[in-house]
Amino acid sequence: MLGSKHWGANPTVSPQDVVLAFNADMIGRLRGNTVHVFGTRTACGLRRWASESNRFTDLLLNFSWEMKPNSDQFSFVERRIPTLMVHTGLHDDWHRPSDDVDTINLEGSSAIARLLFAMVVQAANQPERFVFRSESRSEGLADQKRLEKSVPPRSPRLGVAWKAADGGRAGVCLSHVTPGSAADRAGLLIGDRLLAVAGEEVAEESRLGVTIWAASSPTAVVVERASGEILSVPVELDGTPLRYGFSWREDKGEPGSVVLVEIVPYSAADLAGLKVGDRIYRVAGRGFGNGDELAQLLASAASPVPLLVERSGQLRTLLVLAPSMP
């Protein structure tokens, strides 16, 4: 840090004129295609900005809120300059003679250089400059874990497990009924062949969970007993109807996005491939300012709903086949 400290004490340009500082420290050993990125908390929106730059390389970016005085980026942070550090992780050869040229991942270093180049060009050309976030000085890994921590799982709405019906017949066969669940209270039995839920025939086994989560309560469940008797059973479902099956928290350091902290099993979100930790940036091509605006977009969007999602610094569009709500 001697050089960066010296520059801070004797800057060659006014620090107020520095838009963004980059520190590339130990980028020669890319492993698992993963780059550790520090400093995205030093200005609002840096995580999304870095992910957009990553579309040219498609590296996996591991964003950390940790900020230690262990490399040159810290000298700039102390002077309230937004700063990013890229790093490929410590190794046993660190600061040893064995850390020689033959250990360098040349293709990996080239990919990281392309990522840095894309970020530098984008920083130089964007109309607005980044503003340093004072909160970044007090944020750390514990705060990151609290924000990204998943919520406890929900109780099932119906409380059954199933398998494909024998002989290619329609519907599914109930293989488990949870004691005390809505299904148990309604008198559904292991071995019942489930034919319809809430007026929808069970045509696609993979979509049954989506139908159950979206159904209003009470609802009708049509089953065929082992005796061949077909019954329409009224069921008081537990919980509330869900169109998507995910929940989120807002991140004050990344306005215009949310981090997903729950993906309900067998829901539309689950089937679309969404995961806890994903960040949503756009809904059907539209951005949003906060969680309330996101909820409004989701409620009015026509299915299938395209979501622009960031996962580990990679942007992707996932289509959610969201059911109509009663």
Same domain, yes or no: 62 and 135: yes
pLDDT at 58: 86
Q: What is the pLDDT of residues 177-231, one digit of tens each?
A: 999 999 999 999 999 999 999 999 998 888 999 999 999 999 999 999 999 999 9
Q: Mean of the pLDDT values across residues 108-113?
A: 96
CATH number at 19 reads 3.40.630.10
> Which of 80, 114, 148 is where one domain is finished?
148
- The pLDDT mean for the chain works out to 95
> d(Cα 303, Cα 203) in Å, to the nearest integer?
19
Same domain, yes or no: 166 and 113: no
Token pair of 113, please?
Answer: 């250089």
Residue 240 belongs to some domain of the structure: no
Q: What is the pLDDT of residues 139-178, one digit of tens each?
A: 999 999 999 999 999 999 999 999 999 888 899 999 999 9
pLDDT at 56: 87
Same domain, yes or no: 222 and 307: no
pLDDT at 204: 87
Same domain, yes or no: 43 and 109: yes
Residue 227 belongs to some domain of the structure: yes
> Which of 148, 181, 211 is where one domain is finished?
148
Closest CA to 18 of 78, 64, 87, 62: 78
pLDDT at 96: 93
Same domain, yes or no: 200 and 272: no
Q: What is the pLDDT of residues 69-104, one digit of tens each?
A: 989 999 999 999 999 999 999 999 988 999 999 999
Q: Confirm if 258 and 248 have CB atoms less than 8 A apart.
A: yes
Residue 132 belongs to some domain of the structure: yes
pLDDT at 191: 96
Contacts of 323 (CB under 8 A, 6+ apart): 210, 211, 214, 243, 268, 303
Same domain, yes or no: 121 and 177: no
> Which of 148, 175, 207 is where one domain is finished?
148
Same domain, yes or no: 6 and 141: yes
Cβ burial of 157 (10 Å; 0-12, 13-18, 19+) is buried
Same domain, yes or no: 40 and 82: yes
Contacts of 184 (CB under 8 A, 6+ apart): 159, 177, 178
Count up the domains in the chain and report the number.
3
Q: Confirm if 211 and 237 have CB atoms less than 8 A apart.
A: no
Token pair of 184, please?
Answer: 């148990």
Beta strands in 83-171 (DSSP E): 83-87, 160-164
Closest CA to 24 of 132, 102, 111, 92: 111
Show the domain range for 314.
246-320
Among the residues of 167-302, which ranges form H helices?
Answer: 182-186, 208-214, 268-272, 291-300
Strand partners, 233: 221
Same domain, yes or no: 190 and 254: no
Token pair of 78, please?
Answer: 């102390």
